[in-house]
Structure 1
Amino acid sequence: MIYNDTPSHNTTAYNYGSVKLSVYDWLSDIPLPAGQEVFDCVEVRFKNSRKEFFRNVHRLPLQIGDMVATEAISGHDIGTVSLTGELVRIQMRKKKADAESPTLPKIYRKATERDIEIWKEHRAKEVSLQKRSRELAIALGLEMKISDVEYQGDGSKATFYYTAEGRVDFRQLIKDMAKEFSTRIEMRQIGYRQEAARLGGIGSSGREISCSTWLTEFRSVTTSAARYQQLSLNPQKLAGQCGKLKCDLNFELDCYLEALRDFPRTDTKLLTEKGIASCQKVDIFKRLMWFTYEGDFINWHKLTVDQVKEILELNKQKLTVPSLEEYITEEEDTTQKVSPIDNSQEGSLTRFDEKPKKRKNKKKQGGKNTAANDTAPEANPDKERDDNNKEKVIPVAKEKRNNPEGRKPQPENKKPFNNNPQKAINNAQKQEKITPQATNIKKSSRKPFKKPNKTTPKSDE
């Protein structure tokens, strides 16, 4: 058990674990009529789902959440006030407890800090106590399950809650546990539903189970409740944590029974000229029934409840209908059609196995013939803008290749472009022969580069 030492609305209130079977006091803000005294009984909650009624003989100003020391068979116990006022009278009447009984236990006082410390010390031992008691029961070969242990507030007694299929002779077990734990032992047998209510848990809906939060009366649940609600008789789905049928099956049973009163019996037969039809399925929410002909159980015919009643009225008059197909009406598809989306490769595990294809950079050629550009037809302005950008980028890339050291280019006399590839190769080789010392020469003292005497093709000039 996990304890929470955070006080509630007053300084003497402590909460521990999950607050089970909590009650909302909807009369707390309503004052009592003049001359009427506050009801002298209060409801006190102990560990898990155990609750008892006590008389406030000293007229203590108690509120919900206060820790109190209550009367026990021997010694005293520590509990939390869960309800006060006139709602306690209603709860006692509901649980058939006599408010005027002189044997009703009493509340001694509000729990002191010392009482709470002793109570917490003994509560901390309950887990190890339960584990050791199970080992002793297994050693004696007893067919029982010790599901919970509760210490009394003063530590004078320990109550062991267990479940078993039949009677268990645990006299030797009590002797061993009394010798082992040095306290008074009490064994109390509970049912499987009470065990689930004490321990609690999370149901299939994701919420805390009903018997540990608000359900106190356990009504019998039969498989007919599942049949009326058109549920599959799967014991794994219908059974709760207690191993019995879920109590939730009774919650909506009355609504289903009321709706089924307007339905014809499922064993009714429809007489047609094509044959006798029997009911195979019922949809209570849509008020539909499915019928099949005898000998042809593959083809199901869907009819509404009103149509089935109409055919039954004709059968009572000893009249038959030609076939069930005449009563079938096409339903309008009101659902919005959505274009199909291929999600087959969205979550595929092998979508990253294929290596991405590398893009091959095509070699960019130099400038183009100016004469050809002049005679070219007018092109798209966007395309011309892209072409101009490309022509501006090409010389920069070429300069970086020919000038890896980052030297500033020297001004050159603009000459018409020579489209001779051999001359371009020779110029590149000559530039590579320039030594680093030559770069330190001032521009004014640099001599122009002399071209080698080689035969070059005559230009068109």
Structure 2
Amino acid sequence: MSCGCKTSGDSAHSCGPKKTASGCENVNTCGNSYKLSVFDWLSNINNPAPNRCDFVEVRFKNDRKSFYKNVNNIPLHIGSVVTVESSPGHDVGVVSLTGELVKIQMKKKKFSEESALKIYRQANQKDLEVWQEARKKEDGVKLEARKIAQRLGLEMKVTDVEYQGDASKITFYYTADNRVDFRQLIKDYAGSFRTKIDMKQIGFRQEAAKVGGIGSCGRELCCSTWLTDFRSVNTNVARYQQLSINPQKLAGQCGKLKCCLNYELDSYLDALSHFPSSSTTLETEKGKAFCIKIDVFKKKMWFAYVENSIAWYDFDIDLVKKLISKNKRGEKTPPLEELKQPESSVQSIDLIQENNMDRFEKKNRGNRNKNNQNRQNNNQQGQGQKRNRPERQERTEKSENPNPHTGNQNKQQKPQPQPKAAVEKAEVNTDADKKPQNPNKKKFKKKYPPKKDKNA
């Protein structure tokens, strides 16, 4: 539990109107966190011992912390801004931990009680003003310090700058691959900034912890949130976990191998202890076979012949152990093809195709193509009917007039006038014959509106 209110000088977030130099009064309900925060799980437990812990953990800029002794028995809690002893002058920090949990942290970090400095008082308004004014100058001082180092031709990088609470000292954090002679640099810094200069070299991992950022996993960097001890990471860690040695993927923001590669290393080593050695070879009737791949999760090993390494054969580790024991007795194992068990066919499901939204459109396209084909066929049938109509008419005329002379006489006769109704019916029939008939077309009955009741 911690406070990130404005009085701490570490965040623009405010816990509410109840904030003073003594800290946030809503500290028990405040859910803000800062770098390397420690959850006080003993805050709600009363200490039965009469002797109360006089030590307090105080944090400063970024990840710098130290333990101080509350000599004057000042009532402090998490988030209180205090003025502490420093050399020279005094410094201003924020209380990050109180109570019995401080002793556990001191024991963990091997901090002796005799070397602890004392707390002067709670920070007053003047202390806060000087502290905040000094914090505002840090960005400009860092840029100027980098220009001076570049002008002197020093192979170093000024990572961060920290002012002391009373603005009497500046601490420069820098990174460098080799040893740097900064005697002239300190003189130039002292002449430019008119204060005491302190230089501290840090590693690249500590630089990433101070700067902060987002890792490839999408979370905030471990070194800037909770990780305090930086263990060495080498390429063997990646080999044990069957990872490809790709520096771009294995390197973190600091340019070194990621610290998270050590998290699951013990689990992999425990699993690999049950596997035979990856350098084992099998003596088969067909020739020698060597291990080419290991799968920790499936507990399988892949083997291939020395003469033909294209074909791979996977076996369980129990079977491999039996084959190795058989070779130790001087017996050769059967060929790998015979030892390979047939795999049960599993119907694979294409999840990408199942979740694809275009699958509906493809079905509709198929239906559209079928409808277009049906229409084309119907049109072709209609055109064929039109072509066959004159032949049918000639056949009917021949059947009605078997004698050609009678046909000529009928042609010479004048046509008799027909009634108008018959002419209209004939025109309607001819128009209907011209239109292609669609057998799939549905006939709909005309719906008439309901009759209104006059009595209503």
Same fold (TM over 0.5): yes
Query: Which amino acid counterpart does residue 54 of structure 1 have in structure 2?
Result: Y
Displacement after TM superposition at 1:166 (Å): 2.1
Q: Which position in structure 1 is the counterpart of 2:46?
A: 31
Mapping for residues 87-126 of structure 1, pairs under 5 Å: 87-99=101-113, 101=114, 103-126=115-138
Query: Which amino acid counterpart does residue 320 of structure 1 have in structure 2?
Result: K
Match for 2:192 among 180, 193, 197? 180
Q: Secondary structure at the match of 1:6?
A: coil
Match for 1:384 among 418, 441, 444? 444
Please tell me whether the aligned partners of residues 283 and 289 of structure 1 are also in contact (alpha carbons under 8 angstroms): yes
CA distance in 2, matches of 1:171, 1:7: 45
Mapping for residues 51-66 of structure 1, pairs under 5 Å: 51-66=65-80
Taking structure 1 as reference, are residues 240 and 338 closer, same or farther at Cα in structure 2, changes over 3 Å only?
A: closer
CA distance in 1, matches of 2:355, 2:34: 50
Query: Which amino acid counterpart does residue 51 of structure 1 have in structure 2?
Result: K
Taking structure 1 as reference, are residues 71 and 341 closer, same or farther at Cα in structure 2, changes over 3 Å only?
A: closer
CA distance in 2, matches of 1:13, 1:130: 29
Query: Which amino acid counterpart does residue 14 of structure 2 have in structure 1?
Result: T
Q: Which position in structure 1 is the counterpart of 2:89?
A: 75
CA distance in 1, matches of 2:441, 2:279: 82
CA distance in 2, matches of 1:344, 1:4: 45
Question: What per-residue deviation string (whole Å, max 9, x for no partner) do you get for residues 219-276 of structure 1?
Answer: 1112111111111111222222222221111111111000001100001111111111
Mapping for residues 58-457 of structure 1, pairs under 5 Å: 58-99=72-113, 101=114, 103-334=115-346, 337-338=349-350, 369=425, 383-385=443-445, 388=446
Query: Which amino acid counterpart does residue 261 of structure 1 have in structure 2?
Result: S
Query: Which amino acid counterpart does residue 268 of structure 2 have in structure 1?
Result: Y
Q: Which position in structure 2 is the counterpart of 1:355?
A: none
Taking structure 1 as reference, are residues 5 and 122 closer, same or farther at Cα in structure 2, changes over 3 Å only?
A: farther
Question: What per-residue deviation string (whole Å, max 9, x for no partner) do you get for residues 164-197 of structure 1?
Answer: 1222222222222222222221111112122122
Please tell me whether the aligned partners of residues 42 and 56 of structure 1 are also in contact (alpha carbons under 8 angstroms): yes
Unaligned regions of 5+ residues in structure 1, if any? 347-367, 373-378, 393-461
TM-score of the two chains, using structure 2 as the length reference: 0.73
Displacement after TM superposition at 1:163 (Å): 1.1
Q: Which position in structure 1 is the counterpart of 2:12?
A: 4
CA distance in 2, matches of 1:303, 1:209: 40
CA distance in 1, matches of 2:103, 2:10: 32
How many corresponding residue pairs? 361
Displacement after TM superposition at 1:337 (Å): 2.8
CA distance in 1, matches of 2:355, 2:107: 65
CA distance in 2, matches of 1:341, 1:41: 62
Please tell me whether the aligned partners of residues 7 and 13 of structure 1 are also in contact (alpha carbons under 8 angstroms): no
Taking structure 1 as reference, are residues 115 and 304 closer, same or farther at Cα in structure 2, changes over 3 Å only?
A: same
TM-score of the two chains, using structure 1 as the length reference: 0.72
CA distance in 2, matches of 1:252, 1:237: 17
Query: Which amino acid counterpart does residue 13 of structure 1 have in structure 2?
Result: G
CA distance in 2, matches of 1:110, 1:199: 29
Displacement after TM superposition at 1:32 (Å): 0.7
Taking structure 1 as reference, are residues 60 and 248 closer, same or farther at Cα in structure 2, changes over 3 Å only?
A: same
Taking structure 1 as reference, are residues 344 and 7 closer, same or farther at Cα in structure 2, changes over 3 Å only?
A: closer
Please tell me whether the aligned partners of residues 307 and 327 of structure 1 are also in contact (alpha carbons under 8 angstroms): no
CA distance in 2, matches of 1:291, 1:23: 50
Matched, 1:13 2:26: no
CA distance in 2, matches of 1:30, 1:140: 57
CA distance in 2, matches of 1:332, 1:19: 54
Aligned sequence identity (%): 53
Taking structure 1 as reference, are residues 341 and 225 closer, same or farther at Cα in structure 2, changes over 3 Å only?
A: closer
CA distance in 1, matches of 2:129, 2:222: 32
